[in-house]
Chain A
Amino acid sequence: MDMELIQQIRGKARSLLEEGTVEGVIGYERAGDGVTSRPLFAYDSSAAERLIFDDTCTHNLVKYLLGKRGKKMAVMVKPCDSRAINLLLNERQIDRDKVFIIGVGCPGVVETEWNHKSETLQARCRSCLLTKPLVYDVLLGRELARKAEEETYSDILEAEAESVVSRREFWREQFSRCIRCYACRQVCPGCYCPVCFAEQLEPLWVGIRIAPEENTLWQTIRTFHLAGRCIGCNECERVCPVDIPLSLLNRKLEKDVKELFAFQAGLDPEEPPPFATFRKEEMPELGE
């Protein structure tokens, strides 16, 4: 643990709270197992003393800003998480002047489970090219020179090469395990509709029966609603209790959107999203 960085974080949180700049600080603290970490909502300077940061801090805390709309909050943001900030600014879900962003330099996050921390970097970290958050009010820790591997989408390309039948079989098997707990939705910073389609009854977009057909429909619509919006934090896959490889779906769409519209979500808070814009050059077959 980088104690110097942690002291900086605690110091910053303390002064923000004591000076009344923010009502609360959303950060990380050590989890009950003494090994992994969990989110911490610090509303006074004594709670701020529990803040930590290390390579187990996987949560994308930006999601919690959606529940604190209207309140001035500080939030700890890793480089990857900062894309979620940009996404929510772009979609006008948060006000920039209501959020104090504590950017932290990140060496990458490792795979963990309760009471155990591995040495393996998470897959998304291996191809992360960000050396510091894209947006922040204060940057703590060092900006890191990264030797990331280029994102080649090799697993996606492999999956695309499979036949339709085998792909269908694969996903049928995966989705048959889905218990529709909606954890993937709850953790996603891009899922914030006041009433989710999955819970609308008139019309009933997707049946409530927990069966492969309905589960498939749920996951398909969920994924498409994130096309051009998923910022790749992969929290959905991490929290899935039945280990459905959701990143395969999200990254497939990320790849398609990149190829079709040269767009990646969360890089720019102002650039209009591809599904809310139309440019003639996107459809050359329309002619003049």
Chain B
Amino acid sequence: MTTREVRTGVYICHCGTNIAGTVDVAAVSRYASQLDSVVVARDYRFMCSEPGQEMIKRDIKELGLNRVVVASCSPKMHEPTFRKACEQAGLNRHLFQMANIREHCSWVTSDREEATEKAKALVRAAVRRVFYHEPLEIREVPVNPNTLVVGGGIAGIQAALQIANSRHKVYLVEREPSIGGHMIQMDKTFPTLDCSACILTPHMSELGSHPYIELFTYSEVEEVSGYVGNFKARIRKKARYVDEQKCTGCGVCQEKCPWKVPSEFEMGLGQRKVIYTPFPQAVPNVPVIDRENCIYFQKGKCRACEKFCEAGAINFNDEDKLIEVEVGNVIIATGFQNFDPSLAAQYGYGKFDDIITGLQFERLCNATGPTAGNIQLKDGSVPRSVAIVHCVGSRDEEFHDYCSRVCCMYALKHSHLIKERTDAQVYQIFTDIRCFGKDYEDFYERLAGEGVNFVRGKVKRVASADGKGLDQGKLMITAEDPDNGKVSQVFADMVILCAAIEPRQDTDKVARIFSVNCKADGFFLERHPKLDPVATMTDGIYVVGCCQGPKDIPDTVSQASAAAAKILAVVTKGKVELEASTAVIDEVLCSGCRICNLLCPYNAISFDAEKKVSNINEALCKGCGTCVAACPSRAITHRHFTTEEIMAEIEGVLV
């Protein structure tokens, strides 16, 4: 570029009166026309309009411009617009620079003189900077049409089915022996009160037999490498000790297994066998042997399951298998875990009987649950009073500041189910009732009319009411109104704690594997909270459902569909554009200290042990600049943010 004369065009936008109201745009334009390398400077009412863009295109062609500066709004807003205009006139999009004289200038002062001076300085900086710009090549890479979905809850199921129904391959990886997630544990869903399993199981079985879905249950993703369109994932399929091809799902092994342990699916309220499927409708309907508790594995005797299995499906020599898959996109749908209420001593969880979590209650009132749907206390009797405590671990400075969003509604649902099946008094101990969703307010009105007692307060203590006469054997809940400090006491036989939705314990590890970020509250961070809520900063990796933040089933399903649609758009297009403004390492200057390797948030930098220098994978680099700033030897250059460009810009502002 240095051999060719630099010819710059400068365009000052009025933005109606947004800029022109405060900045003397004509004066800025006159000033710009005298700057070195500037061939033409114009001002116009709306540069982003069709005629505004045409003006730029015409000048590029007629005046032979090879640099363009537009002084207008934030580049976040219209940089793509003007870059496109340049490209349409045959100019590389990176030979363009934008000066923000609205947000950084006219909107921050009403002083016309100062605003005009600052606008001149910003234009001067942009003109000096653009002088050093170089055309960057825009590269495209083909997209592998397969998708990896991680997590087989409602989010993963929805996304997988939607993509697979377009006849594109999906690999679904689920950690547990069956898909279904938390939703399959639930009894009824609010606000419609339809049966959770009834609406979910058809999707589960469709998924299980779908020709375009390969299901890996009892499996985990261990490693992901590559970049958008071209990821490689390593999946560890844990030893099941039951041959999935041979097993007919008859269930005899579970019947004959003599050993029982508390069931995770029943939240510890019931028991399961050591060879088990977590629940009857499991997909796949193939049991696993829980090696830790299996007497054969621990003591070398038993093999009852093997003896009775007619299909000969039991294989005690089964081993973990590692499987590599190649995919173009990844959906993370790893869900949530419940806050452990025993961490907050005031709730008495684990200390007294008949204090259970909301999810435990779902199992308790489920017809397939441990009590066949009878709401009962530990001693088998029917409770005469039940207290439902909201915000356990949520909206609580000590644990999670955020609202878990679903508790108010399921607490109302629980009170309805209790009223329907028992004569118990129900108390809702709440801080605020939040009915944000469609038809939720109606649901609240309806249930409020069913004779539920609403008590406002944050629970301070749950204790035994023994020695208080009539309330013998009951639990005493003390709550304090957060606004007026009024203290209430409620006596109940059963307490249901609405435990917070929280990020899974291994979220950090998962984030590292997939190169995504977490917010301070631990949930995965989306690219933009409003305009790009399911994408992440890593292209081709999407987050949906509760792993991105607490949400209800409709929102989860919407997100899953959104991610599927976004992925199908990319798959249909068949190729993706790579960031051109990447970092590049000068091998001569690199001292091989590897500081950049560790800092790169996208795992884009590797170390070449032969040459003893670091290398940047340009397909992975997002141009964040972290390595450029950190390099102690200044061996890394950031294309489009070179030292010359930045220095020229700074000098332009200062002189």
Residue of A nearest to B587 (CB): A194
Give B262-305 as 1s and 0s: 1 = Cβ < 8 Å from A's Cβ atoms. 00000000000000000000000000000000000000000000
- Distance in Å from the Cβ of B165 to the closest Cβ of chain A? 41
Q: How far apart sit A280 and B588, CA to CA, in the bound complex (Å)?
A: 34
**Residues in A192-207 with C-beta less than 8 Å from chain B:** 192-195, 197, 200, 203
A272 touches B633 (CB 8 A): no
**Which residues of B are found within 8 Å of A197, using beta-carbon distances?**
634
Q: How far apart sit A203 and B630, CA to CA, in the bound complex (Å)?
A: 18
Q: How far apart sit A100 and B501, CA to CA, in the bound complex (Å)?
A: 55
B252 interface hit (Cβ, 8 Å): no
User: Closest 9 A-B residue pairs measured CB to CB?
Assistant: A193-B633, A276-B595, A288-B520, A91-B593, A92-B594, A203-B643, A92-B593, A195-B589, A194-B589
**Residues in B605-643 with C-beta less than 8 Å from chain A:** 630, 632-635, 643
- Distance in Å from the Cβ of B605 to the closest Cβ of chain A? 13
Known: A92-B592, A288-B520. A194 touches B633 (CB 8 A): yes
A194 touches B593 (CB 8 A): no
A93 interface hit (Cβ, 8 Å): yes
Give B473-500 as 1s and 0s: 1 = Cβ < 8 Å from A's Cβ atoms. 0000000000000000000000000000
- Distance in Å from the Cβ of A224 to the closest Cβ of chain B? 11
- Distance in Å from the Cβ of A168 to the closest Cβ of chain B? 22
Choose from B591, B594, B599, B630 the contact partner of A194 (Cβ within 8 Å): B591
Q: Chain B: how many interface residues by the 8 Å CB criterion? A: 19
B632 touches A194 (CB 8 A): no
8 pairs, CB–CB < 8 Å, chain A vs chain B: A92-B593, A93-B593, A193-B633, A194-B591, A195-B588, A272-B598, A276-B598, A276-B630
A203 touches B633 (CB 8 A): no
Q: How far apart sit A245 and B8, CA to CA, in the bound complex (Å)?
A: 51
**Which residues of B are found within 8 Å of A91, using beta-carbon distances?**
593, 595
Q: How far apart sit A195 and B589, CA to CA, in the bound complex (Å)?
A: 6
A225 interface hit (Cβ, 8 Å): yes
A203 touches B594 (CB 8 A): no
With contacts A194-B590, A225-B632 known, what are 16 further pairs, Cβ within 8 A? A91-B595, A93-B591, A93-B592, A93-B593, A193-B589, A193-B632, A193-B633, A194-B588, A194-B589, A194-B591, A194-B635, A195-B588, A197-B634, A203-B647, A272-B598, A288-B520
Residue of A nearest to B607 (CB): A92
**Which residues of A are found within 8 Å of B595, using beta-carbon distances?**
91, 273, 276
**Which residues of B are found within 8 Å of A192, using beta-carbon distances?**
591
B223 interface hit (Cβ, 8 Å): no
B466 interface hit (Cβ, 8 Å): no
Residue of B nearest to A66 (CB): B591
- Distance in Å from the Cβ of B644 to the closest Cβ of chain A? 6
**Which residues of A are found within 8 Å of B643, using beta-carbon distances?**
203
**Which residues of A are found within 8 Å of B588, using beta-carbon distances?**
194-195
Give A61-76 as 1s and 0s: 1 = Cβ < 8 Å from B's Cβ atoms. 0000000000000000
- Distance in Å from the Cβ of A220 to the closest Cβ of chain B? 16
Give A177-217 as 1s and 0s: 1 = Cβ < 8 Å from B's Cβ atoms. 00000000000000011110100100100000000000000
**Which residues of A are found within 8 Å of B520, using beta-carbon distances?**
288
**Residues in B569-604 with C-beta less than 8 Å from chain A:** 588-595, 598-599
**Which residues of B are found within 8 Å of A272, using beta-carbon distances?**
598
- Distance in Å from the Cβ of B95 to the closest Cβ of chain A? 21
Known: A225-B632, A276-B598. A203 touches B593 (CB 8 A): no
**Which residues of B are found within 8 Å of A288, using beta-carbon distances?**
520
Q: How far apart sit A272 and B597, CA to CA, in the bound complex (Å)?
A: 12
- Distance in Å from the Cβ of A3 to the closest Cβ of chain B? 41
Q: How far apart sit A195 and B587, CA to CA, in the bound complex (Å)?
A: 11
Q: How far apart sit A272 and B589, CA to CA, in the bound complex (Å)?
A: 22
Residue of B nearest to A91 (CB): B593
- Distance in Å from the Cβ of A279 to the closest Cβ of chain B? 13
Choose from B589, B599, B633, B644 the contact partner of A276 (Cβ within 8 Å): B599
Known: A272-B598, A276-B599, A288-B520. A193 touches B591 (CB 8 A): yes
- Distance in Å from the Cβ of B595 to the closest Cβ of chain A? 4
Residue of A nearest to B633 (CB): A193
Give A260-288 as 1s and 0s: 1 = Cβ < 8 Å from B's Cβ atoms. 00000000000011011000000000001
A203 touches B591 (CB 8 A): no
Q: How far apart sit A254 and B591, CA to CA, in the bound complex (Å)?
A: 23
Q: How far apart sit A225 and B632, CA to CA, in the bound complex (Å)?
A: 8
- Distance in Å from the Cβ of A195 to the closest Cβ of chain B? 5
**Which residues of A are found within 8 Å of B632, using beta-carbon distances?**
193, 225
**Residues in B228-280 with C-beta less than 8 Å from chain A:** none
A203 touches B592 (CB 8 A): no
Residue of A nearest to B590 (CB): A194
- Distance in Å from the Cβ of B632 to the closest Cβ of chain A? 7
- Distance in Å from the Cβ of A41 to the closest Cβ of chain B? 23
